[in-house]
Amino acid sequence: MTNLACAAKRYLLSILLLLGGAAFANAQGADQLPSWNDVQSKQSIMRFVESVSKEGSPDFVPPAERIATFDNDGCLWGEQPMYFQLLFALDRVKAMAPQHPEWKDKEPFASLLKGDVKAALAGGEPAIMDIVMTTHSGMTSEEFDQIVRDWMATAKHPKTGRLYTEMVYQPMLELLAYLRANGFKTFIVSGGGIDFMRPWTEKVYGIPPEQVVGSSGKVSFEMRDGTPVLMRLPEVNFIDDKAGKPVGIHQHIGRRPIAAFGNSDGDLQMLQWTCSGPGPHLCLYVHHTDAEREWAYDRQSSIGRLDKGLDAAADGGWTVVDMKADWKQIFAFEK
């Protein structure tokens, strides 16, 4: 190779290195939470992430210990006018009704089949539990998985007309990606059913099924025509809500989170446990304040009530996201 050719090669290489460095710098400097306004909640998140992920920082936390837990309903996706899994269960009642003629005279199913959801749910938690246990059992784990996938692919929200998997919060999707880009492992810790969430969380949130913690029903191993299956039983195994959330984290994850995100009093104990641990931590509540773009509710709501949690956040100095003021957009489809 001639001296001229060598010089040309070195020049080309230097240009590529400069371009690559500029691209890297631009990527590093890009806003990784573009749907968030530049307000206190965003700033507290970024300060925390930088402090625990920057080597040499006094608050540096090894990647293996960077655990972040997220509630699902009302934190990552919507929960009004009622929890989406309950809407799934109500659709299952309609689909299963032809095989259950006795439901015409049995509550809460009789009211549901008449279209009177309010009367059906007047029985409170026992009625809801009856609906969920009946519609979520009596099939194999694989059969239930497919039922959930089929529903998610077709069912639409009663207000927006969007698929339920589109009812996710764009700022929270960005937050999940931002945390993972900085060495965090993200988990869902929800009162919702673990087997209801696992079929779709990886596609929607980038959270694989083994990183989903939720309520569960009992399951039994059986041989069906010589094939081993797991049969879903109409019995409660574990309720991953309120005081159950720290228990579920301990049993499934085995590490105390350093960051926890919720939106209701059902998440209070998870945030308390996270923020009482040693070392740096971040506890954040999503406060539903936008009646125009989403819904506004907190202390008096029958769904996603945020009452004791608001007081605890004020007392503990936790971060509270005002959805109306802090988020430029709520859902991705707003674009």
- In a structure prediction context, what are the per-residue pLDDT tens digits for the chain, which is 335 residues long? 455 444 444 444 444 333 443 343 344 568 999 999 999 999 999 999 999 999 999 999 999 999 999 999 999 999 999 999 999 999 999 999 999 999 999 999 999 999 999 999 999 989 999 999 999 999 999 999 999 999 999 999 999 999 999 999 999 999 999 999 999 999 999 999 999 999 999 999 999 999 999 999 999 999 999 999 999 999 999 999 999 999 999 999 999 999 999 999 999 999 999 999 999 999 999 999 999 999 999 999 999 999 999 999 999 999 999 999 999 999 999 87
Distances from the Cα of 317 to the Cα of 147, 216, 284, 309, 323, angstroms: 43, 33, 10, 12, 18
CATH number, domain 34-80+162-334:
3.40.50.1000
pTM over 0.95: no
Q: Which of 146, 140, 166, 145 is nearest to 84 (CA)?
A: 166
| Amino acid type, 11 | Y
Tokens of 296: 């506004």
Contacts of 206 (CB under 8 A, 6+ apart): 176, 177, 180, 186
Q: Are 164 and 157 in contact (CB under 8 A)?
A: yes
**What are the strands of the beta sheet with 259-262, ordered from one edge?**
227-238, 212-224, 185-193, 67-70, 259-262, 282-287, 319-322
Task: Please tell me the predicted confidence (pLDDT) of residue 217.
Answer: 97
Task: Please tell me the predicted confidence (pLDDT) of residue 2.
Answer: 52
Q: What is the CA radius of gyration of the chain?
A: 24
